Amino acid sequence: GDSVTQMEGPVTLSEEAFLTINCTYTATGYPSLFWYVQYPGEGLQLLLKATKADDKGSNKGFEATYRKETTSFHLEKGSVQVSDSAVYFCALSGTYTPLVFGKGTRLSVIA
Amino acid sequence: ETGVTQSPTHLIKTRGQQVTLRCSSQSGHNTVSWYQQALGQGPQFIFQYYREEENGRGNFPPRFSGLQFPNYSSELNVNALELDDSALYLCASRSSGRDTDTQYFGPGTRLTVL
């Protein structure tokens, strides 16, 4: 079945550092790819998405590019802030199919 | 536009009891899914409802059941609670029009089973 593998955390960075969180996937067909963010004590918020190969999703300074050849969707941000501290989930789904999530990567940004 | 809402926020039950969690979908969304998120894990798909019928189910036993109502709100019922049912339960809704692949989540209900 479909699956998502993302880098283990926790990741600890200083403010203004560059962030990369790796995500690779296995899927039949051509799923859409997502990054969701979960702040402490809250539900999931959609951060960005990409629906086809070579699409780039972006939001709030975060970016991820749908790479079909490497089955990857790595999350990047050029300069992280303390407010970016959260758990980040990579996920995939098709039309009307459920989301399949990775295990999550906890990011802590220190001032 | 109203987002996905869930109630209650927190709940404490004892083993063997039954629980009902509620969800109101985002305006204009007619498909609702439920996910279980154990501590430190990613969410796991429980089931999905469309037009008041279950049309997809994950690897969860029959004591997990649900309903969807004509206004697209939904309930998750869990019978014979077990300690391992302690988790954050997330409801997500999506549209059958555009962006059908995108689900929007509520804040979740944290269930503790003692």
Any A CB within 8 A of B7 CB: no
Whole-number Cα distances in Å, A67 to A53, A57, B94, B102: 6, 12, 25, 19
Count how many pairs of residues, chain A against chain B, have C-beta atoms within 8 Å: 62
DSSP element (H, E) containing A5 = strand A3-6
Using the CB atoms, write b or e for B102-112: b if 16+ within 10 Å: bbbbbbbbbbe
Any A CB within 8 A of B92 CB: yes
**CB distance A98–B42 less than 8 Å?**
no
Average pLDDT, chain B: 92
- CB-based contacts of B62, cutoff 8 Å, min separation 6: none
Question: What are the tens digits of pLDDT across the range B77-111?
Answer: 999 999 999 999 999 998 877 677 789 999 999 99
Closest of A99, A89, A107, A100 to residue A14, by C-alpha: A107
At residue B32, what are phi and psi to the nearest 5 degrees?
-125, 135
Question: What are the tens digits of pLDDT across the range A27-85?
Answer: 988 899 999 999 988 889 999 999 999 999 999 999 999 999 999 999 999 999 999 99
Partner-chain residue, chosen from B43, B55, B104, that has the shortest CB–CB distance to A101: B43
**Per-residue pLDDT at B16 exceeds 70:** yes
**CB distance A101–B42 less than 8 Å?**
yes
Any A CB within 8 A of B60 CB: no
What does the pLDDT read at residue B11? 96
What does the pLDDT read at residue B57? 95
Q: Name the pLDDT band for B72 (thresholds 50, 70, 90).
A: confident
